[in-house]
């Protein structure tokens, strides 16, 4: 037997062994079989390379062997081609199997479970706000200094059959005006078309600028006074979407909530209509890209209960008198604006809420108004935003990143219609006609999920009570926030 014949015999035997191994390895994973296949082909090639020098050193072959050599080499090439095709087939099979496998994991948006085609998604996330409220000076008697769980909200949301989103948001904290365990959001959102979605259930009313901003992204721990005049959450149907990338709109038919109300069922047969348009028209300009302009309005009818208005310290500074009730039309409207450029941010809005109020002496439309200006600036250079901000460098302790540092300033005011006091609609024993507040804050972003907040707000009151102006409220607040 010549060296060439021996070389081809070894190659054929090894190839046969490879085929047998492939047929008996059904219990092994696709990846393991592919790796063994590649190793054995490599071994064949190495062995052939080792035998070539032996032939050149003096080994000889007969003329018959030389004639048979091309056929045998063709056979080896055919075997190798067959194995390559088998490898490609196994790779395609592995890829097809991976497309049928559901995916699970965790990331910036929480924990998730989704189908391989992305048509089904379950996302678990949430946030916790641990607050401290500390009153000083003349306001010390208004409320107790306390730690509290301001918000404890697990979030369950996702998608079914590609076009139907859902969201369930309970709250186990001590949110103002709610009982722990209250359902804040519970809705279904059908969004087959890009320009329009249909949302049904309980959600935020599309009205207030700061109200629609997530509580996790606020410059201050508590929202400003204009939010006291806007509807909170309500049950109904909402059409929403975009008229191109620069214009967003929402129109909702809801049960109808009082100012600041969180409504689950209606108290009368009438329904409220709420609408909002918000535009960022200068997307092509470097300086004006962050400018947003909006207008919101609502109309409806309220019968029965009336709201009270609270400070950032959650102390009531205005309430209606016993015997006064909502009885008739209720209108709201609000021009609103924000502007973000680099580390600087500005948010401002004005709200008027007009409500027919009745008591024993008659009925009158009362116009209550509020406005705010809030500015913020990142000392560490992060890009300011209406949405979530991530630090350039996460906090890592000594020798590492320090996180992001933000300063904030706010001035806000709320004025009750003077007729509420003249005609006996207001409780003059405790109510103020005007509240004006200024606040400063420092926010330390450890990373995009965790933040520490430190605020001071001073609220002054004027008019209303027959015993003189209410004492000024001096409030220190701190918050430890985790949102994932």
The residue whose two tokens read 């497309």 is 99
Helix intervals (H) in 309-430? 419-422
Which residues contact residue 226 at a Cβ distance below 8 angstroms, ignoring those fewer than 6 apart?
208, 210, 334, 349, 350, 351, 370, 371, 372, 412, 414
C-alpha span between 130 and 133 (Å, rounded): 10
> What Cα–Cα distance (Å) separates residue 238 from each residue in 158, 250, 336, 384?
19, 7, 21, 30
> Beta strand pairing status for 182-190 and 103-107?
unpaired
- Any idea where the domains of the chain sit in the sequence? 3-99, 115-483
How far is residue 414's CA from residue 308's CA, in Å, rounded to a whole number? 12
State residue 36's pLDDT score: 67
HSE at residue 484, side-chain half, CA atoms within 13 A, is 11
Treating both helix axes as pointing N-terminal to C-terminal, what angle do 3-23 and 63-99 enclose, rounded to 10 degrees?
20
Q: How many CA atoms lie within 13 A of 425 on its CB side?
A: 27
Tally of CB atoms within 10 A around 43: 12
Give me the torsion for CA of 262, 267, 272, 278, rounded to 10°.
Answer: 0
* Model pLDDT, residue 382: 98
Distance of CA 74 to the CA centre of its chain: 63
Spatial distance between the Cα atoms of 310 and 333, rounded to a whole number of angstroms: 20
Query: Mind listing the pLDDT tens digit of every residue in the chain (484 residues)?
Result: 444 444 444 444 444 444 444 444 444 455 666 566 667 666 666 655 655 554 455 444 455 555 555 666 666 667 667 766 766 776 666 666 656 677 888 887 789 999 988 899 999 999 999 999 999 887 656 678 999 999 999 999 999 999 999 999 999 998 655 566 789 999 999 999 889 999 999 999 999 999 999 999 999 999 999 999 999 999 999 999 998 889 999 999 999 999 999 989 888 888 999 999 999 999 888 899 999 999 999 999 999 899 999 999 999 999 999 999 999 999 999 999 999 999 999 999 999 999 999 999 899 999 999 999 999 999 999 999 999 999 999 999 888 899 999 999 999 999 999 999 988 999 988 899 999 999 999 999 999 999 999 999 999 999 876 667 888 999 999 999 999 9
Yes or no: say if 475 and 350 are a contact pair by the CB < 8 Å rule: no
pLDDT value of position 7: 46
Fold of 115-483: Porin (2.40.160)
Cα radius of gyration rounded to whole Å, the chain: 35
The phi, psi pair for 129, rounded to 5°, reads: -120, 115
- Residue 429 CA to its chain's centroid (Å): 43
Residue 403 vs residues 40, 110, 221, 478: alpha-carbon distances, Å: 53, 21, 19, 18
Q: Which residues contact 19 (CB under 8 A, 6 or more apart)?
A: none
Please report how the helices 63-99 and 30-56 are oriented relative to each other, as an axis angle in degrees rounded to 10: 160
Threshold 0.75, pTM exceeds: yes
Q: Which residue has the tokens 């091309």?
A: 70
Determine contact, residues 352/317, Cβ cutoff 8 Å: no
pLDDT of residue 461: 95
Query: What residues contact residue 166 under an 8 Å CB cut-off, 6+ apart?
Result: 157, 158, 159, 160, 187, 188, 189
């Amino acid at each position: 037997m010549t060296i060439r014949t021996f070389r081809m015999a070894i190659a054929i035997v090894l190839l046969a062994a490879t085929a047998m191994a492939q047929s008996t390895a059904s219990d092994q994973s696709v990846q393991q079989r592919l790796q063994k296949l590649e190793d054995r082909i490599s071994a064949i090639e190495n062995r052939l390379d080792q035998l070539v020098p032996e032939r050149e050193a003096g080994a000889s072959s007969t003329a018959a062997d030389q004639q048979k050599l091309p056929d045998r080499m063709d056979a080896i090439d055919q075997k190798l081609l067959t194995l390559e095709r088998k490898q490609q087939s196994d790779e395609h099979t592995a890829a097809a199997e991976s497309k049928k496998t559901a995916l699970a994991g965790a990331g910036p948006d929480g924990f998730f479970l989704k189908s391989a085609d992305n048509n089904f998604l379950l996302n678990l996330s949430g946030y916790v706000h641990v607050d401290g409220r500390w009153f000083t000076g003349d306001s010390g008697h208004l409320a107790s200094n306390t730690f509290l769980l301001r918000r404890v909200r697990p979030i369950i949301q996702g998608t079914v059959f590609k076009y139907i989103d859902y969201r369930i948001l309970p709250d186990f904290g001590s949110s103002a005006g709610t009982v722990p365990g209250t359902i804040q959001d519970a809705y279904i959102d059908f969004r087959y078309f890009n320009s329009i979605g249909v949302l049904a259930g309980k959600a935020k009313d599309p009205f207030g600028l700061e109200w629609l901003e997530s509580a996790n992204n606020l410059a201050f721990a508590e929202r400003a006074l204009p939010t006291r005049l806007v509807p909170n959450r309500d049950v109904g149907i909402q059409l929403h979407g975009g008229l191109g990338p620069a214009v967003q709109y929402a129109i909702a038919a809801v049960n109808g909530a009082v100012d600041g109300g969180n409504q689950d069922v209606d108290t009368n047969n009438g329904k409220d209509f709420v609408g909002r348009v918000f535009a960022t028209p200068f997307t092509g300009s470097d300086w004006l890209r962050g400018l947003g302009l909006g207008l919101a309005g609502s109309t409806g009818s309220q019968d029965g209960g009336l709201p009270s208005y609270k400070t950032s310290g959650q102390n009531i500074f205005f309430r209606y008198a016993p015997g006064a009730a909502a009885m008739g039309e209720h209108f709201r409207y609000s021009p609103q604006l924000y502007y973000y450029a680099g580390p600087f941010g500005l948010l401002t809005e004005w709200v008027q809420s007009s409500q027919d109020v009745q008591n024993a002496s008659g009925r009158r439309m009362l116009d209550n108004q509020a406005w705010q200006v809030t500015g913020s600036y990142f000392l560490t250079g992060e890009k300011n935003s209406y949405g979530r901000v991530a630090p350039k460098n996460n906090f890592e302790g000594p020798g590492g990143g320090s996180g992001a540092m933000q300063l904030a300033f706010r001035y806000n005011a709320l004025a009750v219609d003077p007729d509420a006091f003249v005609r006996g609609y207001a409780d003059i024993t405790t109510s103020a006609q005007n509240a004006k507040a200024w606040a400063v804050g420092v926010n330390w972003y450890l990373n995009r999920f965790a933040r520490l907040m430190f605020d001071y707000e001073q609220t002054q009151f004027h008019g209303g009570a027959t015993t003189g102006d209410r004492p000024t409220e001096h409030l220190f607040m701190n918050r430890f926030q985790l949102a994932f």
